[in-house]
């Protein structure tokens, strides 16, 4: 069975006219696919509007009820799209996360998909319907609405593609993945083929084009993934297995992530404090920790971690409650160079450090993975550094 | 167990501040009741906004998807109210129609409650939580969202009160039921006690204060019903059994319903046409038929029915398709006098007809029930007639 899952983000279904436009794309795809599932996010800024109302009522809105609240956003866009498809003569049905079989585990707001029961999905597809599924949501064992975290609609789409053995297209307002963010570098080139691993690394390191969890899932279940324009243009980026990429650059991409917060954690007058307990508490409060370094200066032990600027107040609160001190440094960016071929190439790190020195860009932290090197630098210097790296590696 | 169900309509939860205000009322009621269920409608004009979007996409939006779309309105208000209750230290949980156990049968958009499975409701109440339930919705045997028709939140509230053996308060922006619409007659009096039957008759005949189905259900399951202000003021109207009302007027209420459409149905050149089939087709198209009269003039047979002005185009379409002719008369009102004591009183009809003649108000149709008489008159004359009736019967 020739199946396709298409995911449209919130900006692609933001208005009545945009809903009509994506319907055209869907119908056009029927030429090439026998069965189509469409996954949609909430219209435009709906989710932000719902969160704002909850925040106006409570400093810490109850998470179970937040999930019920946020689930409505996708229910609106999915039902409207299905209504339109039916009005122009297509057979269609809109399904919520739980109707589409999404069973989840874990905390509200950041639930994980444990299973997708495909009975209803397959029944509706076999009835010849275009199935429109609400992204980003599922139901837990209590029969309560859950959400998969921001960007979870990508994960919903890949999960359906995995269970249905379908191709998955993430259609959005950019026409694929670029070597460098085109807003920073006008001459950046679109990448036609990129590996799952590189895409994951990019997404983890700041590129907003796709949710890293969804790429990981695509890799695990061998889902052919495509990122392209919501006009349906097939000239986008294909995410495939590394071994299937014919011609490969050493460096595939330079990523940049702004609004990074550097947090120094210490305890005045003491070198012994439970850093692991602190990290655990931060994690339990949904504070996303990225880099971690242990620092010993003049016999004083401290730790430096990075997180998102939005987590500043919460971080301070958690550390205060544990009797720990902290200092913050804001206005930082994390600039990363990414490429699978780095594994087999020596000298990339040396070339990168050379650029930093030539460009006189100081860095506060550095971290590396098998296929990437990341530098924490002043936000004011990040664009300059991105372009210098791109020049060096011909991107 | 001392239980209370409170229903708040859309205008009572239309804004963040109004949600905070109704929370105060709920908490105040905790002094007198051990367990409280709150039923809410969608915020303000949310439902109308959702319908508008669907209509922008389709002349006849798919009903199953409409129900999924509209169900979101109450999910938003219920989750926000529960979030606020929890933020001020109350234990609370928000439940959708299906989580609260509402099983429905019948068509989408106009489903009927077949059962309320109380397991979860009672579990949450026994956990000490204020349970906030989305009104107006349930789930059918396919696991699809259904809605109970406009005003269905009243029915949701009474149904929960019936299964929990609770008192039911419908709190709104008017402080009870009046003898006459106060917008038409300033000196109209609030009714302290009124029978279920009279309230049903009023609701059926145009009073917008409560949904007739919900009153019928309250009567059937002996649910003590109260209509009052959303400020929690207990000086409202109690709807009770007729035999429990101590002092009774002959006439309790004068109702007025505008935007009535009179439809003459006939078939040129033929006196034989399937009126019952026509009525069936109209009903299947959700056209609400009120009065029906068979007319024989100069050997020509025709039928006159009344419906709502909004159904005009649909009515014409249905009759056209059946090869029937029709003529419309618009700008009509139905003025009704209602009172249980009419059963035992002769002469009410004579006094009413006398008023019509004195006031020179021509009528196009008249219909009667055991406890009411209704006249179809020009909309321009309806207020004058309402006041004349109110004078005659001391309301």
**DSSP assignment of B163-191, as one string?**
HHT-EEEEEESS-S-BSB-TTT-TT--B-
pLDDT value of position B23: 98
Percent of chain A with pLDDT over 90: 76
| A165: CATH | 3.40.1160.10
Q: Over 80: is that where the pLDDT of A139 sits?
A: yes
Between A313 and B295, the higher pLDDT residue: A313
CA dihedral B85→B87→B93→B96, nearest 10 degrees, is 80
pLDDT of residue A48: 92
> Does the beta-carbon distance from B62 to A19 stay under 8 Å?
no
Residues of chain A contacting residue B69, judged by C-beta atoms under 8 Å apart? 75-76, 79-80, 83
Reading the block at residue B350, the tokens are 């004579």
Counted domains in chain B: 1
User: pLDDT at position A347, please?
Assistant: 84
Nearest to B65 among A54, A57, A83 (CB): A83
Give me the percent of chain B exceeding a pLDDT of 90. Answer: 76
The predicted pLDDT at position A376 comes to: 94
How high is the pLDDT of residue B189? 92
Which residue bears the tokens 């899932």?
Answer: A217
Q: A53 in a domain, yes or no? A: yes
Q: Does residue A165 lie in a domain region?
A: yes
Residue A391: Cβ within 10 Å count: 12
Asked whether the beta carbons of residue A94 and residue B59 sit closer than 8 angstroms, the reply is no
Rounded Cα gap, residues B224 and B239, in angstroms: 7
Instruction: Using pLDDT thresholds of 50, 70 and 90, give the confidence band for residue B288.
Output: confident
**For residue B142, what is the enclosing H or E element?**
none
Give a yes or no: residue B311 inside a domain: no
Owning domain of residue A65: 3-248
Residues of B in contact with A24 (CB under 8 A): none
- Which residues sit opposite B301 in a β-bridge? B296
CA closest to B20 among chain A residues: A57
Among the ranges given (A77-86, B62-71, B290-299), the one the predictor scored with the smallest mean pLDDT: B290-299
> How many angstroms away from the CA of A1 is the closest CA of chain B?
26
Cβ-defined contact of A20 to B62 (cutoff 8 Å): no
Q: Is residue A120, in this structure, part of any structural domain at all?
A: yes
Q: Does B319 fall in a domain?
A: no
Residue B41 counted as domain residue: yes
* pLDDT at residue A369 is higher than 90: no
**Residue among B74, B80, B117, B142 with most chain A CBs within 10 A, to mutate:** B80
Q: Which residues in chain A have their CB less than 8 angstroms from residue B68's CB?
A: 75, 78-79, 94, 96
* b (16+ CB within 10 A) / e for B254-287: bbbbeebbbbebbbeeeeebebeebbebbeeeeb
Nearest chain A Cα distance for residue B321, angstroms:
21
Residue B186 forms part of a structural domain: yes
In a domain, B264, yes or no: no
Residue B1 and residue B121: Cα distance in Å, rounded? 14
pLDDT surpasses 80 at B335: yes
Residue B247, pLDDT above cutoff 80? no
Find the CB nearest B16 among A57, A84, A93.
Answer: A57
Phi, psi for A79 (deg, rounded to 5): -70, -40
| Mean pLDDT across A76-103 | 98
Give me the pLDDT at residue A204, please.
Answer: 83
Residues B379-394: what's their mean pLDDT? 94
pLDDT at A298 exceeding the cut of 80? no
At A7-56, the pLDDT tens digits run 999 999 999 999 999 999 999 999 999 999 999 999 999 999 999 999 99
* pLDDT category of residue B290 using cuts at 50, 70 and 90: confident
Task: Using the predicted structure, report yes or no on whether residue B376 has a pLDDT greater than 80.
Answer: yes
DSSP bridge pairs for A250? none
Pairing of strands A3-8, A167-172: parallel
pLDDT of residue B268: 86
Between vectors from CA B44 to CA B42 and to CA B46, what angle results, nearest 5°?
60
Q: What is the mean pLDDT of residues B52-80?
A: 97
pTM, to two decimals: 0.86
CA distance, residue B312 to nearest chain A CA (Å): 22
- The phi, psi pair for B41, rounded to 5°, reads -90, 180
Q: Picking from A160-164, A227-231, A336-340, B64-68, which range would have the lowest pLDDT averaged per residue?
A: A336-340
- Residues in Cβ contact with A94 at an 8 Å cutoff, skipping those fewer than 6 apart: A75, A78, A79, A81, A82, A83, A132, A133, A134, B64, B65, B68
Among chain B, residues having any CB pair with chain A shorter than 8 Å are: 16, 19-20, 50, 53-54, 56-62, 64-66, 68-69, 71-72, 75-76, 78-80, 82-84, 86-87, 92-94, 96, 99, 120, 143-145
Query: What's the confidence (pLDDT) of residue B296?
Result: 80
Q: Hey, what are B339's tokens?
A: 């009172």
Q: Which of A80, A55, A153, A150 is nearest to A110 (CA)?
A: A150
| Mean pLDDT for all residues in chain A | 93
């Amino acid at each position: 069975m020739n199946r396709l899952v298409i995911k449209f983000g919130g900006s692609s279904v933001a208005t009545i006219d945009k809903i009509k436009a994506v319907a055209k794309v869907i119908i056009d795809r029927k030429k090439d696919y026998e069965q189509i599932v469409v996954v949609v996010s909430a219209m435009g800024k709906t989710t932000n509007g719902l969160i704002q109302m909850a925040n106006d009522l409570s400093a810490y809105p109850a998470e179970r009820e937040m999930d019920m609240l946020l689930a409505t956003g996708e229910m609106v866009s999915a039902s409207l799209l299905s209504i339109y498809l039916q009005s122009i003569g297509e057979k269609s049905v809109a399904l919520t996360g739980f109707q589409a079989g999404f069973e989840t585990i874990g905390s509200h707001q950041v639930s994980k998909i444990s299973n997708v029961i495909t009975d209803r999905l397959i029944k509706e597809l076999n009835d010849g319907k275009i199935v429109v599924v609400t992204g980003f949501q599922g139901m837990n064992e209590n029969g309560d609405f859950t959400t998969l975290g921001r960007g979870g609609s990508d994960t919903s789409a890949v999960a359906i593609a995995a269970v249905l053995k379908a191709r998955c297209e993430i259609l959005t307002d950019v026409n694929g993945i670029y070597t460098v963010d085109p807003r920073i570098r006008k001459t950046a080139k679109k990448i036609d083929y990129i590996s799952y691993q590189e895409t994951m690394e990019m997404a983890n390191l700041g590129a907003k084009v796709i949710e890293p969890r969804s790429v990981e899932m695509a890799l695990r279940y061998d889902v052919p993934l495509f990122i392209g324009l919501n006009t349906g243009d097939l000239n986008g980026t294909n995410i495939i297995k590394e071994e299937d990429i014919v011609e490969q650059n050493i460096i595939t991409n330079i990523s940049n992530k702004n609004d990074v917060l550097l947090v120094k954690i210490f305890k005045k007058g003491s070198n012994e404090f439970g850093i692991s307990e602190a990290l655990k508490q931060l994690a339990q409060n949904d504070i996303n920790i990225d880099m971690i370094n242990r620092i010993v200066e003049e016999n004083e032990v401290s730790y430096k971690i990075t997180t998102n600027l939005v987590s500043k107040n919460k971080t301070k609160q958690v550390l205060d409650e544990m009797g720990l001190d902290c200092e913050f440094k804001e206005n930082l960016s994390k600039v990363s160079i990414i490429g699978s071929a780095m594994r087999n190439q020596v000298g990339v790190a040396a070339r990168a450090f050379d650029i930093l020195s030539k460009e006189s860009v100081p860095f506060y932290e550095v971290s590396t993975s098998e296929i990437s090197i990341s530098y924490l630098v002043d936000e004011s210097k990040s664009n300059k550094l991105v372009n210098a790296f791109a020049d060096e590696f011909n991107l």
